Structure 1
Amino acid sequence: MPIAPATPRSPSSALGRPTAVLTVAGLTATALLAPLAAPASAADAGSGVDDLRSDLDALLDDPALDGATSGVVVRSLDRGDVLYEHAADTALIPASNMKLLTSVAALDVLGPDHTFDTTVSAAEEPSGGVVEGDLYLTGTGDPSLTSDAFDDLAAEVAGSGVTEVTGDLLADDTWFDTQRLHPDWEADDEPYYYAAQISALTVAANDDLDTGVVNVTASPGGASGDPVEVRLDPAAGNLDLTNEASTGTPGSAAALDVHREPGTNQFTATGSLPAGGTDFSTLRTVHEPTDHAVHVFAGALEDHGVKVRGGVDRGTGPEAPEDAAELASAESAELSELLVPFMKLSNNGHAEILVKAMGRESAGEGSWQAGTAETAAALDRLGAELGEHELSDGSGLARSNQLTANGVAGVLRAALDEPWAADWEDSLPVAGAENRMQGGTLSERMRGTPAEANVRAKTGSLSGVSALSGYVTGNGGEELAFAVLNNGFEGAAPRDVQDAIAVRLAEFSRDTATSGQPDPLAQRAPERDAAGELECTWAGTC
C-alpha cells in the first residue's frame, strides 16, 4: 500500500537551526515539595522568560492535576538554555512518548532506507509447474503486509508457472523470537488492537496498517429477530466465527460484542443491532499472527490456482534452506516512509516490531530484551542523556517504562543533529492538521490557536498517565523543544493543560512580557475528553 506523504516542512522547521550543547540543572527529589519552578539562572531571566515561567506555573496548578506528578521542561534549541523546568529529573511513566525513543533509535540502528523483505521459496526449482516438497513463506517483520500484498505474492508464484505444491506450506517467522506479548502488558488488554501479538510475519488489516488483528463488521438484518451478518476481514482458514447476535427492534440500543476465546481463534458474536440501524465495526486481535498470515497466503494461492497438497503450518525452526529457490518476494517501503503511519497514528505494533528488528540487526536476537538494550545504546551514541530510565518495550504500553522530562527533551534535541532528522520530524503529529496522516493524534487538538500547524509533538496516554512532547516555534521565531509528562491524576487526561502549555509556548517571545495570568484553559485549548483513558487513536476519542 502506498504510504501517505508526510507533512511538508515549513520555513519555521526545527531543522537547519543552530544547535548548542545544553547544560541542565537537575532537580532533587525535594523539588516536588518546593514551589513549582524557578529560573534556571539569573542570566536566563528577562521580561518574556519570567512571564513564561509564571504562566506555566499557573497552568500546572490546574485542579485536573491535583495529586499528580508532572515532569515538565522547555529548552531553547537556538540558544541552548532551559526556559522552564519542573520535576524534570523525576522518572515517570511515559506512555506513548516511548515511541520518540524507539523511532530515533530505529533510524540510527536500521537506517532510514531500511526495508523489510518477505519471500516465498522452495527447496528446489519447480519442475513442470510442480514444487516437489514444501513451500516456505519467510518474514522479517514487515508491518505493512496487507491481504493485497499476500495476494500479490501468490500471483507472482502463479506467474512463475507453479500450479502445485506436493508438500506443506510452512511459515518461517524465526527472524524474531516466539514471545508474542510483553510480560508487563495488562492481560485484559490482549483482545484489543493496541495490544496485538508481535510476530515477524503478520497481516496489516487496514490502511492504518494495524497488525495482528482482524476487522470485525456487522450489519443488522431486515427485521427484528433476523440474524445479524457478521464478517471477519481478512478472513482465513485459521479463524472460526460463531454468530449468536440478532436484530433488535427499530430504535433499540446497539449492544453487539465480539469476543475471542484466549489462546484460540474462536470468535463469538453476541448481542444485537437495531433493525434499520447503522453497521457495527471494530478490531479484534488474532492468536498467533504468523498462523493468520500463512493462512491468508494459502487462500491467495488457491485463488490464483496454486494447489497445496499438504498442510498449512508454522515451522518450529528456520525452515527455508539457505540455498532455497526464491519464487516471489515483497519489499516494504523504506523506514522513513513507514514512520508516518507509525508515529502519526501511534501504532503500538510497529513500535514493537522495530524494537525486535533492532535486536535482530545488532545482536542477532529479535527480542524485547535485545531490542531495548540496543535502543538505549543507540541513544547514548547520539548523545541523548536519558538520566534515570527504564526501557521495557517500544510502544509505551508497559507501565514499567520510566523516563524523565529531561530525558525526553534530550532525545528531541539529539535527533535534530542527524542526517535523517527531517524524515523523523515530519513523522510527528502536527497540531490541528485535519488529514490524519499529517495531524495524527493531534488532528483535533489546538485548532484555532497559535499552536495550530506549529506544534509537532508525540502524544501519550494510559489510565492515569498522559504526555505531550515535541517542538514548537515561539512568536519571536525561537525554536523550542518541550516535554510534559503527567502521572497519577484522577479522572480524564489533562490534555487541555498540555495544549494550553503548547499554545503558551507558541506565543512566547523572549523580549515580550504579557500581563497577568494566562487566559482560562477553556479559551486556549479544546475541552478535556472525559472518555479517553487510552491513546486517542486506540479509544477512538481523539
Structure 2
Amino acid sequence: MRRSSRLSLLLIGVLVAAGSGVTGAPVSAQDRDSLGRDLDAILANPGLAGSDVGLVVRRADTGEVLYHRAGDRRQQPASNAKLLSSAAALEVLGPDYRFSTTVLAAGRRTGPVLHGDLYLRGTGDPTMLAADYDTLAAAVAAGGIRFVRGNLVADDTWFDDVRLGSGWAWDDEPFYYNAQVSALTAAPDTDFDAGSIIVRVAPTSPGAPVAVDTVPPTDHVRIASTAVTGAPGSASTVSVGREHGTNTITVTGSLPAGASPVQAFRAVWDPTGYAAALFRAALGAHGVRVLGPTTRGGTPSGAATVATRQSIPLRELLVPFMKLSNNLHAEILVKAMGRARFGEGSWDAGFAAVDAVLPGLGVDPGRLFLVDGSGLSRMDHVAPDQLTELLIAAREKPWFRTWFDSLPVAGVADRMVGGTLRNRMRDSSAAGNVHAKTGSLTGVSSLSGYVTAADGRPLVFSMIANNVIGISVKPLEDAVAIRLSGQPAPAVPAAAGPRERNEWCELKGC
C-alpha cells in the first residue's frame, strides 16, 4: 500500500549543527558570509536547544543556494503541506475548477407531485452555506414540485466514506479545523469552514440559564446546556464541547450578565446529514413537503436535474484556503483530484494524482511522505529543500500569480490579504514583502515562501522546526524573514513567547 511502502523513508540520521545546539547538518561552505553568520546566530537561540530545525534560502531566479542547514531532513511540515496540495490542485484540477451541488428527481411527475425520490448530490463543495441550500429549495418549488411521495436522498458518493485523515489526533475531533470530509457538507460562514457550526452563548439575567443558539440554525445538533448567567463582573467560565461520536453540543459554566456573547466553532458529526437537514428544512420553508425520511444513496442515472449550484472557481477558493489555512479545503481538493484523475474520491487516489504531478513542480515524490493535504497529520514528512524546489518551479507555471497572491502577506492587517501573517513582522522591511505559508502544531512550526532582498533579488526560503519545547518559534522565523528582506534581524530572547499550538486556535479559538 502506498502509505506504508514509504514509511522507511522517514528513518534518517541525526547530525548536530556546530555551535548551535540545534539538531541538523552544518551550514554549507558557500554560506560563510554575513547572511550565513546572521542566520546562524538566529538558529543558535538557546530556546531551540534539542529541537530539529531546517532552513534553506535560495535565489528564486537561479536556484542558487544561499543558506542550507539540515535542509534535506524530513520533518513534520504542519500547514506547509498546503503548499504542495494547493499547487497540485492547480495542476490537476485547474484554476477554473468548480464544485457542483445538484438536486435531481427520480420518478413520475403529476402536476406538483413527484411520485419518487428527490436527490441531493454533492461533489465536495466547501462553500455551501445554509443560504445556498435555501436557494436550491426555492428552485425546486419554482419548478413546480410541491409534494414528494418518496424520500429525500443524500448522495455523497462522489467521495468515499472515510471522514477523518490518518494520524489525526482523537482529541481534536470536536474542533472546526478537524471537521469531517464529505462530498455533501455546509459551512457556517464565508470563511467556508465546512463541516462546522457556530455555537453562540449569550447571558440573560443573573441565576438564569444562558441563551444558546447555532449558526446556521439546525436540528442536526442537540444542545445540552447547564450553563448559567452569573453576576455582573463575575468570571466567565463558559465551555462549549461536543460529545465524541454524537451531535450533542455541551455548554457548561457561567457567563456574567451584561457580557458580550461567546461563540465557538465546532465540527459536526456526519456532515452529510448536516447538509441534508439544512436542505430539508429549506424545502419545508418553501412549501415543498417530502413524505419519506432522509436516506443515503447514489443517484440513479435516469434522474432529472431540477436545480444546480456551482461554486466559486478554485482560483477564488485559494484565498480563504491559503490565507486562513483551511484544513478541509485541502482535504476536499485531494479527494477531488483523486476523483478527477482516477474516478475515486479518496485520499489514496488523491495522492496518486498528487505524486503524478509533483515532478513537474520540481519535487521528488520519493523524498516526502504525505497522508493528508492539510498537514494536520503527524505522519506527514517533508524536507525544507523540497519546498524551496516547489517555490522555484511554481514561478514558471501559468497559475503562479494566482497561487502567489493566495499566500499570507506579512504585516497586512486585512485578514484576506495578510491572513495568518497579518499580525507578524509589522513595521519591518518584511511587511508587505514576505508572501509565505505558515504552519504550526504543538511542538512544530514552519514558514516557507517568497521575499525580495534589499538589492532586489527574489528569494525563496523554507524553515521547519520540530520537537520544540517551551517557546514559540515564530519570532525566530520572523527574524529570518526580516534579515532576508534586508533589515538587520531583531534580537529574540531565548524564551520567545508561548509554546507553539495549532494555528487554527489562534484564528477562531479551540
TM-score (norm 2): 0.93
Task: State yes or no: 1:194 paired with 2:177.
Answer: yes
Identity of aligned residues (%): 48
Q: Which residue identity is paired with 1:164?
A: F
Corresponding position of 2:33: 50
Shift of residue 182, structure 1, vs aligned partner: 1.5
Among 8, 32, 49, the alignment partner of 2:16 is 32
Among 324, 330, 335, the alignment partner of 1:351 is 330
Shift of residue 386, structure 1, vs aligned partner: 5.4
Q: Could you tell me whether the CA contact under 8 Å between 2:227 and 2:252 is conserved in 1?
A: yes
Corresponding position of 1:123: 106
Q: 1:321 to 1:378 in 2, by over 3 A?
A: same
CA distance in structure 1 between the partners assigned to 2:178 and 2:276 by the alignment? 21
List runs of 5+ in structure 1 lacking aligned partners: 1-27, 509-513
What is the RMSD computed on CA atoms of the aligned residues?
2.0
**Aligned ranges for residues 210-359 of structure 1 at < 5 Å?**
210-222=193-205, 224-315=206-297, 318=298, 320-359=299-338
Among 451, 474, 490, the alignment partner of 1:472 is 451
Corresponding position of 1:3: none
**Aligned ranges for residues 58-457 of structure 1 at < 5 Å?**
58-124=41-107, 126-222=109-205, 224-315=206-297, 318=298, 320-385=299-364, 388-457=367-436
Corresponding position of 1:521: 492
CA distance in structure 2 between the partners assigned to 1:225 and 1:298 by the alignment? 37
Shift of residue 269, structure 1, vs aligned partner: 1.6
Post-superposition Cα deviations, 1:277-333, rounded to whole Å, max 9, x if no partner, equal 121111111110000000000011111111111112333xx2x11121101100001
Shift of residue 63, structure 1, vs aligned partner: 1.8
Shift of residue 480, structure 1, vs aligned partner: 0.4
Q: Could you tell me whether the CA contact under 8 Å between 2:443 and 2:499 is conserved in 1?
A: no
Aligned-partner SS, 1:214: strand
List runs of 5+ in structure 2 lacking aligned partners: 1-11
Aligned-partner SS, 1:75: strand
CA distance in structure 1 between the partners assigned to 2:347 and 2:340 by the alignment? 13
Query: Which sits farther off after the overlay, 71-80 or 106-115?
Result: 71-80
Shift of residue 538, structure 1, vs aligned partner: 5.0
Q: Could you tell me whether the CA contact under 8 Å between 1:387 and 1:404 is conserved in 2?
A: no
Q: Could you tell me whether the CA contact under 8 Å between 2:445 and 2:474 is conserved in 1?
A: yes
Shift of residue 33, structure 1, vs aligned partner: 4.4
CA distance in structure 1 between the partners assigned to 2:219 and 2:15 by the alignment? 59
Shift of residue 238, structure 1, vs aligned partner: 2.3
CA distance in structure 1 between the partners assigned to 2:248 and 2:509 by the alignment? 29
Q: Which residue identity is paired with 1:406?
A: D
Q: Which residue identity is paired with 1:146?
A: L
Post-superposition Cα deviations, 1:149-186, rounded to whole Å, max 9, x if no partner, equal 11111111111111111111010000101011123100
CA distance in structure 2 between the partners assigned to 1:373 and 1:538 by the alignment? 33
CA distance in structure 2 between the partners assigned to 1:528 and 1:166 by the alignment? 64
Shift of residue 79, structure 1, vs aligned partner: 2.8
Q: Could you tell me whether the CA contact under 8 Å between 2:85 and 2:354 is conserved in 1?
A: yes
CA distance in structure 2 between the partners assigned to 1:194 and 1:407 by the alignment? 26
Q: Could you tell me whether the CA contact under 8 Å between 1:466 and 1:485 is conserved in 2?
A: yes
Q: 1:117 to 1:538 in 2, by over 3 A?
A: farther
CA distance in structure 2 between the partners assigned to 1:130 and 1:460 by the alignment? 53
Aligned-partner SS, 1:218: strand
Post-superposition Cα deviations, 1:324-346, rounded to whole Å, max 9, x if no partner, equal 11011000011011000000000
Corresponding position of 2:8: none
Query: Which sits farther off after the overlay, 365-374 or 289-298?
Result: 365-374
CA distance in structure 1 between the partners assigned to 2:509 and 2:269 by the alignment? 26
Corresponding position of 1:511: none
